[in-house]
Structure 1
Amino acid sequence: MYIVSVLIEHGINRLSQPFSYLSKKEVVKGVRVRVIFNHQKLIGYSLKCQYTSLSAKELALRDGFRYNYIQEVIDEKPLLNDELVALSESMSKLYITSQIVCLQAMLPKTLKPKTVKTVTIKYQKAARVIRIGEGKTKTQNALYQYLSTPGTHFIKDLPFSSSPLNGLVEQGLVEIYDQEIKRQPQIAKVKQDCVVLTKSQQDIVNQILEKKERISLIHGVTGSGKTEIYLALTKNMISKGKNVIMLVPEIALTPMMVAIFKQRFGDDVAIFHSRLSEGERYDEYRRIANGEVHIVVGARSAIFAPLKNIGLIILDEEHDASYKQESAPRYTTLTIAKMRALYHHANIVLGSATPSVESYARALKGVYDLYELPERINKKPLPAYTIVDMANEAKAKHYGLMSRLMEERLKTTLAKGEQAILLLNKRGYASFVKCEDCGEVVKCPHCDVTLTYHKNDDSLKCHYCGFSIPMITQCPHCHSTMLKKIGIGTQRIEEELQKKFKDAKVIRYDYDTTRNKNDHMRLLEAFKKQEGNILLGTQMIAKGLDFENVTFVGVLNADLTLAIPDYRSSERTFQLLAQVGGRSGRGEKSGTVVIQTYNPTHYAIVDGAKADYQHFYKKEMEFRKMAYYPPYCHLVALSIQGKNDKNVEKAANDIRQYLDAHLQHVRMLGPAKLTIFKMQDIYRMRIIIKYRKSDELYQVLNQLDHYYNHKNGKVTLVYDFHPYTTI
């Protein structure tokens, strides 16, 4: 008899703990099991299995409750190794969340403990020779010779009918069997010549390899050759028998990086990101877990790849917000990378043209090793930039969406047969719809935000909860038909471009056009083949893309990110402008950039335009120090959420009083309503805690968690350590 400790998936916080079940056979740690819990059939995850000589009756007498038996063991092999199970325990404590939530973050959808849907191994019928001999007919002998050649011979591909095959099977010369088919993700095609590292690149590679268990920050301008350094480091690790995790922030960038790594390392590369089909993710996960590959390339979730013997973890574009998980367990990818690197005694490499202020500060202090690449690989200068003050455009009676200079540059670029990239960090056609009679703005009924108008399907959509309705013809408040669409989005810019420029072939690249599988790759491939000459998109196009024929980049509204009431607004604006500007002039032709703004003298815009990181960093650090924000402290955002706004407000005030009484060495902001107070019918308030040391803090937060998330029931507390945004 065995007692198995099982972690079940359940929505009630107080049940987020292991429960004991019985099994007549030993259950391997780390497999899924089917159990009965409170008369429900649930999927659980085995954490521990101990032998007992006691019977079920004796155990019930000893422990005071009756044990249930495990109904079924689902997996033959553990889904996660011991390292990742231990990591889930550490994450649970670090982020004050349940361990089952951490386990779910690590696994593909079809392997999560709660799933009932299963994706299995894919097979196809194949035939092979099993005995030497001859067929009875000429056709049978021809087929026999064909099947004797090397390789797998799938029945559907045989250039013979089923009759001779059945004859050979009846004679015992051939057998039909199931051959596993690996579902291969579609890979972008790249053509790269063999690259010899420059002295600067080689020096960085050598210095990183000389050190053990270190974090290195490569600060290199756009086009400085950081990817080649990643490839050289990876090659060295593989030669030593070590494994590598290569992370990129956006799914859009994953196919590009995968293509480059596949070209260099062939089938030794696995892909891991959320846009793969469930079957593809299942097969790639098995390849990784079975040790069939040494390199994993993917987005944020690839940090949990079940690789053993990791020697190197790389985070490209390390500053990017996509490395922060915004739903439970709200982890920071770099924090998880540090935990895995510590376990494996591995190195971490961070790369960016615009490092996060926190990372650069740590590098200057010597916590990280800092490497600078101040020039592009081909010695070409960064693109020339122009900042256009849109207030002056209005004074000159020019009210178009694009300034006169941007229109002129676009026209010249297209006339030369070159390509352009235009950035507007707002999707849709119009920002909102307003009644001109009563001033009413059409809002989402579930969130405190306006609905965005989308022209392609004539609908109003909420970009936060997904609520959608057909475009209205009357004001819901006064029933007037005087409705006006206000603001601009990528759909409207696309329409303007096609009207204004007869040679424009626009490829729009935003969330709406890249929802389906492989849309990212299809659109980028089309632009690369010059099937389009203007790539119009949101921030998704700002980083990682390399098109040698792009000579012009335009930013339509640089103030969008600057206007967000958040301490990172200036940093985000600088990074976005410096990154998107770096897409111009990466080939033999020189590039230009035009940035439209109403804040032409703001340091984030001026420094972002010319990619002057040092000046931006110095200025930004002054503000961070005055306001006491990272890197001068750590942050945790405590969100109080509930379906009743009064309950939320009362709990928020009570919690602030409790924190004031029990915390001494912190500073606090709030409670305050979030910028979007109601989202998906949930009201939300937030308290920001600024701290240096976490010992005292965790003790108090765990007490609050125990009361509100396990006993109270009226509100829920959500903890977000190192939040990327505080709005």
Structure 2
Amino acid sequence: MNNYIGVIVDSEAVSLDRIFTYKIPEILKENIKLGQIVKVPFGMGNKKVNGFVLEFISDVDENIKIKEISSIVTNYSVITKKNIELIFKMKKRYFCSYIDCIKLMIPTGITKGIKHKTNYVICIKNELIEKLKKRPYIDIYDAVRKYNGVYTKSELNHKFNFSLSSINTMIKHEVLEVLEKVVSRCDNRVFDKYEEKVLNERQHEIVNSIIDSKLKKFLIHGVTGSGKTEIYMSLVKKMIEEGKESIILVPEISLTPQMVERFKGRFGSDVSVFHSKLSDGERYDEWLRVKSGEVKVAVGARSAIFLPFRNLGIIVIDEEHEGSYKSESDPKYSAIEIGEMKSEIENCKLVLGSATPSIDTYYKCENNQYTLLNISERADGASMPEISVVDMRDELKENNKSIFSRELYAAIKETLEKKEQIILFLNRRGFSTFVSCRKCGFVFKCKNCDVPMTYHSDKKYLICHYCGSTEEIPKICPKCGSKYVKYFGVGTERVEREVKKIFSAARVLRMDKDTTGKKNSYELIYNSFKNGGADILIGTQMIAKGFDFKEVTLVGIVAADLTLNIPDYRAAERTFQLISQVSGRAGRGSKKGKVIIQTYTPESYAIQYSSKNDYKNFYKTEIMLREGMNYPPFSKICIANMSSKNETLLIKYTQIIGSFFKNKFSGCDNIDILGPCPSPIGKINEFYRWQILLKGEVTYNTADFVKKSIYEILKKDYNVIRISIDINPLSLL
């Protein structure tokens, strides 16, 4: 008999990150469950706090006085038994606290009493009495009988112009009554039927390979437009037929409308939608639908991986190469790694899909950790687009100072004349990249961050994209007093202005972080372009994947070099992926597509191979370079980032910590210590940033030792200096 439970208290204090033992009172023994929220007395004052039940304990040392739990907060488990197992694995892998993991698995606010949304609706209670058999009572009665339990008093008043006093009179005479009704905050829209398509031979082979195989992990490497989504849908259908559930992850919220449209059009109300743009109430209702078994499929961004399905059959991670699957806040989890853990814990299939797989994932295929499934041709016989590379240095020689090359200008003009659609891609928002003085070279930087500010013409301000601070546009250089202040570089906002100026008759939409801040803004822009409401869509990386617009025949990549010159070993990989993905938006229908890549470095292997849609040779080149430099996947990188508003104290401690690790690992040939040194971006939001890197055979135990050692060295000042530890981070910036 289990007389005790192990509880994690709801606190983010590092010192409380452990399991506390509590006794179960006799009166609660029959009702206690793993994963429940309970109230427990905590601390010297026995303050009642929330705790999460993570384990049962049969016996403890009888000489130790054990407190009893006070009450049960939820009569159901908010964390499944399988997710509890996942929590223990995550804590070890991501060097995070229990509570950090728990909060990923439950809706925001559930511990604060978020409940169902309710309305007080009007219903028929009795027959209309003789006294009220006259207007307006007869009209009210007939309307309520037709819409029984649908409308509130105020809604009846506004919709039918019924007076509130008349409605109240009928309630007083018990002809009508007011009842509390639960109102769903979920998206209950009915979408047009998305008919099931007949799979081609290769699609059919892949579906059968995944379903019939005893192996669990697969990578579908299919060119853009090869029909991967239709494969996912067929796999989901198989799962539903077997009574199992499915999770479909997409990297960007901007892709969610399209996936939702297709999955709800195919599977109807069986689909739940889950992403960060939902309100707390909407997330709670969607989570509860999954928890109660009402839905069989969840479509969403990274956080949907933790939804509490009972009998999970498959996890699909579309565009698996995307960086948004990696969390940048604690716990710094990767949705793909979580998928691998859940595949083992829940005995389900894990399917990754991409036209440009990450180097790490493809390497796993070569080492038989994943089963590789290739698709080399587009579905429905569509051909790959024609791709040309324009050397912008030649344009300058010909005195073309426009942001558009002559070839791209001519192609835009021709495409507009043919009434076809265009996508223009630039992975930088704003009007200009930076503002500087032409006389002395002074660059206007953010006062809080060590980065140039970006000019936004619509707001008439300089804005920092890191901390959000704004400044008025400078007229005089603060360094030399010159009036020669000029905007340099190009952002999506400037591309939009130039397009409207040159092609004044064209209807233009822009999709970037500035235009999609409001709820449902992604979907509005997506639907407008999809339904022919615009001729040209200008955007950042959020338009570079997933979108399937049949009328888009031209894609222009305005500046292909932006990601190539970032000081990060993944720069070439990201450049290849972005160019290949955005190129794949062209010619997905029956019309031939064309892509024009503008660049100042056409000789780059990333640009050369992406222009030929040649992933295999890009991979061979990149993996050879990684091996020569001993970068992942041939090693692991552990990065310790430290930041503080006190620069002097920060430098002092990073030097001490750096010396400690260099001495500790001095005899270790398989681990190199790099740093300490300032981070490439040395200051963000008033916090100075330094880092230390360990590269080589870095185990998770080694990284855990690094974290504990840093905290021990900083124990007097850890409230002044922020610490972030990560293995194989998304970025070294």
Report the TM-score when normalising by structure 1: 0.90
Deviations 1:121-154 (A, max 9, x none): 1112234456789776546788777766797433
1:204 maps to 2:209: no
1:123 maps to 2:82: no
Task: Give, in whole Å, the separation in 2 of the partners of 1:188 and 1:500.
Answer: 41
Aligned counterpart in structure 1 of residue 558 of structure 2, from 556, 559, 565: 556
Residue pair 1:32, 1:75 contacting (<8 A) in 2 also:
yes
**Residue matched to 1:78:** 77
Deviations 1:376-405 (A, max 9, x none): 112122100110001111111111111111
Task: Give, in whole Å, the separation in 2 of the partners of 1:726 and 1:187.
Answer: 42
Aligned counterpart in structure 1 of residue 505 of structure 2, from 498, 503, 522: 503
Alpha-carbon distance change, 141 to 53 in structure 1, aligned in 2, over 3 angstroms: farther
Alpha-carbon distance change, 151 to 596 in structure 1, aligned in 2, over 3 angstroms: same
SS of 1:562's equivalent? coil
**Residue matched to 1:725:** 731
Residue pair 2:95, 2:704 contacting (<8 A) in 1 also:
no
**Residue matched to 1:45:** 51
SS of 2:490's equivalent? coil
Deviates more, 1:661-670 or 1:621-630: 661-670
SS of 2:109's equivalent? helix
Alpha-carbon distance change, 147 to 90 in structure 1, aligned in 2, over 3 angstroms: same
Alignment of 1:152-551 (within 5 A): 152-156=149-153, 175-185=177-187, 192-212=194-214, 214-551=216-553
Task: Give, in whole Å, the separation in 1 of the partners of 2:505 and 2:461.
Answer: 29
1:582 maps to 2:584: yes
Residue pair 1:13, 1:709 contacting (<8 A) in 2 also:
no
Task: Give, in whole Å, the separation in 2 of the partners of 1:339 and 1:52.
Answer: 28
**Number of residues paired by the alignment?**
716
Deviations 1:184-240 (A, max 9, x none): 338695664431111111111111000235111101111100000000000110111
Alpha-carbon distance change, 44 to 216 in structure 1, aligned in 2, over 3 angstroms: same
Deviates more, 1:512-521 or 1:169-178: 169-178
SS of 2:430's equivalent? coil
Task: Give, in whole Å, the separation in 2 of the partners of 1:292 and 1:662.
Answer: 58
Residue pair 1:34, 1:74 contacting (<8 A) in 2 also:
no
SS of 1:205's equivalent? helix
* Amino acid paired to 2:36: G
Alpha-carbon distance change, 51 to 353 in structure 1, aligned in 2, over 3 angstroms: closer
Residue pair 2:436, 2:488 contacting (<8 A) in 1 also:
yes
SS of 1:281's equivalent? helix
Following TM superposition, by how much is the alpha carbon of 1:313 offset from its aligned partner in structure 2, in angstroms?
A: 0.2
Unaligned runs of 5+ in 2: none
Alpha-carbon distance change, 308 to 161 in structure 1, aligned in 2, over 3 angstroms: same
* Amino acid paired to 1:387: V
Deviates more, 1:668-677 or 1:90-99: 668-677
Task: Give, in whole Å, the separation in 2 of the partners of 1:217 and 1:300.
Answer: 18
* Amino acid paired to 1:700: F
Percent identity, aligned pairs only, is: 37
Following TM superposition, by how much is the alpha carbon of 1:88 offset from its aligned partner in structure 2, in angstroms?
A: 2.1
Alpha-carbon distance change, 188 to 435 in structure 1, aligned in 2, over 3 angstroms: farther
**Residue matched to 2:706:** 701
Alpha-carbon distance change, 32 to 722 in structure 1, aligned in 2, over 3 angstroms: farther
SS of 1:724's equivalent? coil
SS of 2:651's equivalent? helix
Aligned counterpart in structure 2 of residue 676 of structure 1, from 677, 681, 685: 681
Task: Give, in whole Å, the separation in 1 of the partners of 2:193 and 2:387.
Answer: 30
Report the TM-score when normalising by structure 2: 0.90
Deviations 1:84-125 (A, max 9, x none): 2332232112111111122223333333x5xx5x64311122
Following TM superposition, by how much is the alpha carbon of 1:692 offset from its aligned partner in structure 2, in angstroms?
A: 4.1
Task: Give, in whole Å, the separation in 2 of the partners of 1:397 and 1:53.
Answer: 83
Task: Give, in whole Å, the separation in 2 of the partners of 1:186 and 1:445.
Answer: 46
Following TM superposition, by how much is the alpha carbon of 1:705 offset from its aligned partner in structure 2, in angstroms?
A: 4.9
Tell me how large the CA RMSD over aligned residues is.
3.2
Following TM superposition, by how much is the alpha carbon of 1:687 offset from its aligned partner in structure 2, in angstroms?
A: 2.7
Task: Give, in whole Å, the separation in 1 of the partners of 2:41 and 2:517.
Answer: 36
Task: Give, in whole Å, the separation in 2 of the partners of 1:703 and 1:662.
Answer: 21
Residue pair 1:185, 1:276 contacting (<8 A) in 2 also:
no
Residue pair 2:446, 2:469 contacting (<8 A) in 1 also:
yes
**Residue matched to 1:13:** 14
Alpha-carbon distance change, 695 to 455 in structure 1, aligned in 2, over 3 angstroms: closer
Residue pair 1:578, 1:610 contacting (<8 A) in 2 also:
no
SS of 1:46's equivalent? strand
SS of 1:319's equivalent? coil
Alpha-carbon distance change, 52 to 286 in structure 1, aligned in 2, over 3 angstroms: same
Deviates more, 1:611-620 or 1:630-639: 630-639
SS of 1:717's equivalent? strand
Deviations 1:540-576 (A, max 9, x none): 1100001111110000110001001111111111111
Deviates more, 1:76-85 or 1:424-433: 76-85
Following TM superposition, by how much is the alpha carbon of 1:258 offset from its aligned partner in structure 2, in angstroms?
A: 1.1
SS of 1:604's equivalent? helix
Task: Give, in whole Å, the separation in 1 of the partners of 2:544 and 2:48.
Answer: 44
Alpha-carbon distance change, 37 to 271 in structure 1, aligned in 2, over 3 angstroms: farther
Alpha-carbon distance change, 340 to 610 in structure 1, aligned in 2, over 3 angstroms: same
Unaligned runs of 5+ in 1: none
* Amino acid paired to 2:14: N
Residue pair 1:217, 1:350 contacting (<8 A) in 2 also:
yes
Following TM superposition, by how much is the alpha carbon of 1:578 offset from its aligned partner in structure 2, in angstroms?
A: 0.7
Alpha-carbon distance change, 568 to 305 in structure 1, aligned in 2, over 3 angstroms: same
* Amino acid paired to 2:15: R
Residue pair 2:638, 2:695 contacting (<8 A) in 1 also:
yes
**Residue matched to 2:695:** 690
Deviations 1:621-673 (A, max 9, x none): 11111111222223322223333342343244234324424755334433332
**Residue matched to 1:30:** 36
